[in-house]
Structure 1
């Protein structure tokens, strides 16, 4: 998983009622712009920026400066965003992370809790094509625990973010229901209300090869190996039907690169249409093999339902 995911995804952050500001008042300090560190180089959208060190007291509430406004649609909660970013702490001139050097945008689902609250709040309501600078107080970032070694406890964070793309994510698969006639395979529900579909595993021996079947066939583009997908999914063990993971239980879709998951997913979802619900039966060789993985015992056959909601 890319480094930003390790830095930004912190599920235990405290709730906050901090407001989002967009101060247009100038600063007498040349190293500051509208209360946030100035961009000293690479100021244009798409360029890797350089930020000055923060001066004076950092903002106590979330602060958002629109550096340049795009002309695309306004982002909303639930959108799948593609962004480039650079982040550093208020009292530093050295970035702790950035996507520009990797040459690969970062993808997130806005408002899904996949990133720190300062990102979810600061990127909402911005136009695609915009560059924004966000000052994030500790309670909307990593709090007093920080994210060692790069981010100390109580740090105020400053990000420059280029919003490249926003995709509206539907709540569920939608398309043509496909008959499930093989009694030796799991049966999957066909509801389209955004709730987890039923999933019943037969009391038979599992298949030895990967199974990837449409339950609902969508009408979108075919998934490519290089795509980043936003999905709702659940996973159970074949041997007892016990659930080991579910994005439905977390209350938000998951976003990931198809090339960064187990073989059963990368092989089973490639070529499937966006908007579809897919049954995956993943034998150990295409899953976790001889290694146990948390609640998944070694040599387990895995069963997934996957709603392919969007791709980037």
Structure 2
């Protein structure tokens, strides 16, 4: 995942927070000025602090209510309360963020601030250090005891899984094995070859969303297995929340074959070694030099 929103290494900064203002604070969210429009700005006075995560709904949306565990796409402006200066802005970068509202994927202030809000809302959230990073973030100009102020536009709730018309993959493609209502592994068909030389994509559920573009950040659920019936080496479904990653930072098979596929689809990618990890997979891992791979992927969102 990207930019400031890392709760832990690869996770994003945005998540979790409950309402409630600190009456001892010299200023509250009522004192934060928000400009309107599609690229809003915040005016936060210097030395703004709060003792608890506080929220203020600037505009209530009419969409679905968010709950803990939901994945949600947001645009945001982020301001350091100590300096009153902006340190990130997805509106101007045109890079909305998809986050999952749980403790493992986001900061406590985001979970508290976004849970219970409605899609389409514009919401101010002030986050004290205890619900923020818990430490200094020098690359952002954030000190350990800084309060952060976020303005969120809640764009959409991200679906849990692919939705659309079921389609049959080619007869030689390994068949998906499902567990708990989602793909968990593959098994060869009678016509599945032992070796493959060309990467291929197969739509097994046809979604009706926008086509994924090259270089976008994709949010997906997936399972990966050594082709055709080897070890399952990774599964976002097994971990819980969907994963987000930039398509210019993945293996060639994904980078080349996912663009053009429609959001909402479930696809199977068959990836020979030269489009995956070749002769240099991670040492000691389940993928061996020269292994081909097969993936089932639910394309949930892209931005």
1:132 pairs with 2:123: yes
Q: Pick one of 178, 181, 184 that aligns with 1:197.
A: 184
Q: Aligned in 2, Cα 1:291/1:54: closer, same or farther, shift over 3 Å?
A: farther
User: Which residue, out of 103, 106, 111, partners 2:97?
Assistant: 106
Q: Is the 8 A contact 1:274 1:309 kept in 2?
A: yes
Match of 2:75 among 84, 88, 95: 84
After TM superposition, the structure 1 = structure 2 runs for residues 225-264 of structure 1, keeping only pairs within 5 Å, are: 225=213, 228-238=217-227, 241-258=230-247, 260-264=249-253
CA contact (8 A) 2:200 2:257 kept: yes
Partners of 1:201 and 1:241 within 8 A in 2: no
Are the equivalent residues in 2 in contact too, given 1:290–1:298 (CA < 8 A)? yes
From the superposition, tell whether residues 54 and 75 of structure 1 become closer, same or farther in structure 2 (CA, over 3 Å): farther
Give 1:280 shift.
Answer: 0.8
Instruction: Please name the residue that 1:210 is paired with.
Output: 199
Aligned position for 1:94: 85
Match of 2:256 among 242, 267, 291: 267
2:47 corresponds to? 54
1:4 aligns with 2:10: no
CA 1:281–1:146 in 2, change beyond 3 Å: closer, same or farther?
Answer: farther
Taking structure 1 as reference, are residues 73 and 259 closer, same or farther at Cα in structure 2, changes over 3 Å only? farther
Q: Unaligned regions of 5+ residues in structure 1, if any?
A: 13-17
C-alpha distance in 1 between matches for 2:28 and 2:36? 15
Q: CA 1:220/1:243 → structure 2, altered by over 3 Å: closer, same or farther? A: same
Q: Tell me the alpha carbon deviations over residues 226-270 of structure 1, each in whole angstroms, 9 at most, x when there is no partner.
A: 565432101123387233321112211123454553331233233
* Pair 1:223 & 2:214 matched: no
TM-score by length of 2: 0.76
Match of 1:167 in 2: 157
Where 2:93 maps in the other structure, the secondary structure is coil
Match of 1:119 in 2: 110
1:21 aligns with 2:16: no
Partner of 1:38: 32
Structure 1 stretches of 4+ moved >6 Å: 24-27
Q: 1: CA distance between counterparts of 2:22 and 2:122?
A: 15
Cα separation, partners in 2 of 1:48 and 1:230, compared to 1, 3 Å: same
Would the alpha carbon gap of residues 304 and 19 (structure 1) be closer, same or farther in structure 2, given more than 3 Å must change? closer
Q: Is the 8 A contact 1:232 1:253 kept in 2?
A: yes
* Length, aligned pairs only: 292
Instruction: Determine the C-alpha separation between the residues in 2 that align with 1:303 and 1:290.
Output: 17
How far apart, in 2, do the equivalents of 1:190 and 1:173 lie? 16
Compared with structure 1, are the counterparts of its residues 173 and 188 closer, same or farther at alpha carbon in structure 2 (3 Å cutoff)? farther
Structure 2 unmatched runs, 5+: none
Report the secondary structure of 1:213's partner residue: strand
Please report the RMSD computed on the Cα atoms of aligned residues, expressed in angstroms: 3.7
Asked if the contact 1:177/1:190 (under 8 Å) is kept, the reply is no
